[in-house]
Chains A and B, each alone.
Chain A
Amino acid sequence: MHALVFIKQVPDASQVRVNYETGTLIREGVPAILNPFEAHAVEEAVKLREKYGGKVTVLTMGPPQATEALKECLSRGADKAYLLSDRVFAGSDTLATSYALFEGAKKIIELEGEVDLFFAGKQAIDGDTAQTGPGIATRFDVPLVTYLIKLDEVNFEKKQAVATRLTEFGQETLQVPLPAFFTVEETLNELSHSPLPWLIKAARSKIEKLSSENVKLDLEQCGLRHSPTKVKKAFTPEKRQRGETLTGSVEELVQKTSDILMPFLKKGL
C-alpha cells in the first residue's frame, strides 16, 4: 500500500489579526500550523499502513518553513516527507498549485512507486477554496471522492475502495477503483497520540527536497504570471461594533428581546 497525502502549512487563521488602518493582515507572531483537515488525512493513511503494511508519503508545496508541517506529519506516522519549493511557484493560484503538485506527485511516483490512495484535506483553512484536491484528481484522471467521512473498505487485491462521503442532503457510499483521490472531513477519524518511537524517528528524518531542478516542469503553467486568477485588491471588511447592551431583570430582558424579535415573527392564530 502506498498512500500519498497532500498537505498544506497554513497560518492559524484564528490568530491572524487585521490592521484596519492599512487594510493588511498582521502575520507577525501568527503560528503556522498543519492544515487541520490534513492531520486527519495523514491519520487515515497511517491507519491503513498499520493494517495493510506499505508506506505513507506526504507532499507539500511551500516555502522552506513548511518543513515544520511536514515534520508534524512524520511524527504522526508518515514514512517520508517531500517539500516542493521553488521561486517559480510564487504567487500560484489554485490551478497553478494543482499543476505543481501534480508534477511533484509524478516525481514521487517515479521515486517511491505507484500510489494507491491520494489524500488531502477537504480544504485549507486559510484559502478555504477546496479546489486544489479536485484539481490534482482531474489532472491524474483518477476518481475523486470529496468530503470523505468513512473509508468503509479498501481491497488491494481487487484494487478498489468503498467510501462514504457527505452530500448536500445526507451521505452516499461509493465504490471506486484504486488509485483514487480522497479529500477528507475532520469527522473521518480521531487523531491519536503518536508513540514515542515515531516522534524520535520524525526528529531524525530528513525532508526530501523537490524543485525545478529535479522535477520536470512546464514553466508556462507555474507561479503568479501563469495563474489565471489575480488578486485585484484586498481589503478589510468593516469592523463590527459592539452593539447595545440590554439591561434589567430576566423578565425585562425577555420583554426587550421579544420586541427585537418581532420583525422575524407574526401573530399566529
Chain B
Amino acid sequence: MGETIDLTKKDHEISHYKNIWVFMEQTDGVAHPVSFELLTKARELAKQLDCQVGAVSIGKAVSHLAKEAFRFGADKFYIVEDEIFKDYRTEPFRDALSKLVLKYKPEIFLIGATTQGRDLSGSVATELRTGLTADTTKQEIDPETGMLLMTRPTFGGSLMATIVCPKDRPQMSTVRPGVFKAIPVEHPKEGEIIRGKTTLTEDRIVKKILKKVVSSEGNINLGFYDVIVAGGKGMGNKDNFNLIKELAELLGGTWAGSRKAVELGFIPQSRQVGQTGQTVHPKLYIACGISGAIQHLVGMQTSDVIISVNTDENAPVFDVSTYCIVEDAIKFIPGLITELKKQKLTPVKNER
C-alpha cells in the first residue's frame, strides 16, 4: 500500500546498531512536549552508552524543530519533509520512519505513548520485526550488557515488569507524557541535519483525512496536568461538579472523575480516570466523593500526593491517600474554594 519496505535489507548484526533516537511528534509544526522529555532521557542514556542522540521528525514543514531538538540535546536531526506528511497518517509515517531506521540503524528508539505515538510505534515495530515495550515508566542501561532495561506497569499497575529486547534492534519503547522531565541543555550546539526522501505520492495513499476537529473537551490528555481534581458519585449531581471544576481551576489543574461520575452523566468519558479511562500520575490528585473502586485506584495511585474527601471513613480510596478527609465533599469544597480565593493564591505552574 505504501512504500515497500525491503526487510531482506535489514541488518541483523546488532553490533551495527548505534545511537539513540527520539521521535519528535508534532502537530501542525508544533512539537509535542513528550518529545523534549524523551530527548532529555535519551541524553542521559547516551552518556552511559557513549553514543549520540538523534531526533527524528516527519511532516510538511518541520525544519524549525531542528533548533528545538538541539536545545534539548540532540546531536543530529533527521527529517523527512513532504506535503503528504501534512497530517499524521499511520501508513506514510510508518513507511518513512521504517526506512530511516533501516538506513541509519539506531540502537534504541523512543516514542511518546500518545495516541499518535501508540498508533505509529506498533506499526513501525511490526514493519521492522523488532520488539516494542509500551508505556514504560523507567529506562536504564544494564551496566553489564549495555541493553536497555524498560520497566512498565502491567495488570493495571499491580505488577511492574522489566523488559529487554536482547537480539533485535532497535530496542523500541513508548513512554507516557509526563513521566520524565524535560530539561534543556546549558550550551546547545548546532547539530547536523540529515534529510531523508520519500518516493511516496498522495495518489498512492489510500487514507484521506476528511475533517479534523480540535476540541478541549473531546479528548483531553489528563497526563498533561500537575494537578487533577476528580469527583465521583458523592458529588450528588452535575451542578455540584462545578465545584470540582472551580477548585481545579484555582489550583491550575484540570478536572476528572470516576467511572460512576461518567455513568451518572456528571462528566464525559474522555475525563474518566481508571482502568477503562486514563491513567494519571500528577503531583497532586484530589479525589472528592470517590469511594475508590480498584478500577479507579489503578488509574491514579501513582500520583505524588493524594488528598481524598469522602464521608465513609472506610472508603478504599483512603488506603492510597496521603491525606484523608472524612467529610462530605459538597460541604468541604466550597469552604476550600472560599479560603483559596481569600488568600489570593495562584497556581505555581500550569500544564506540564
Contact = CB atoms under 8 A, between A and B. Distances in A.
B160 A234 contact: yes
A138 B126 contact: yes
Nearest to A162: B210
A258 interface: yes
Interface residues of A, number: 82
B126 A250 contact: no
A25 B158 contact: yes
A249 to B, nearest CB: 9
A125 B156 contact: yes
Contact of A243 (B88, B163, B324): B324
A17 B158 contact: yes
Interface stretch (B47-55, B63-71, B113-121, B195-203): B113-121
A258 B340 contact: yes
A265 B347 contact: yes
Interface residues of B, number: 100
Given A13-B156, A251-B335, A266-B346, A93 B324 contact: no
A267 B346 CA distance: 6
A143 B327 contact: no
Nearest to A134: B122
A251 to B, nearest CB: 7
B242 to A, nearest CB: 18
Max chain B C-beta neighbours (<10 A), residue from A15, A98, A261:
A261
A263 to B, nearest CB: 8
A257 B158 contact: no
A175 interface: yes
12 contacts: A95-B132, A130-B134, A131-B132, A138-B126, A144-B91, A146-B90, A174-B207, A175-B210, A186-B269, A245-B313, A257-B325, A258-B336
Interface of A: 11, 13-18, 25, 36-37, 93-95, 98, 125-135, 137-139, 141-144, 146-147, 162, 166-177, 186-187, 227-237, 240, 242-246, 250-251, 253-255, 257-258, 260-261, 263-269
The 5 A-B pairs with the shortest beta carbon distances in the complex, nearest first, are: A228-B131, A134-B122, A229-B131, A268-B346, A13-B156
Given A95-B132, A186-B276, 7 more contacts: A134-B90, A134-B126, A146-B118, A169-B215, A237-B158, A257-B307, A266-B346
Interface of B: 1-2, 27, 32, 87-88, 90-91, 94, 114-116, 118-119, 121-123, 125-127, 129-135, 149, 153-168, 206-215, 218-219, 221, 226-227, 251-252, 269-270, 275-276, 283-284, 293-295, 298, 301-302, 305-307, 313, 318-327, 331-332, 335-336, 338-340, 343-348
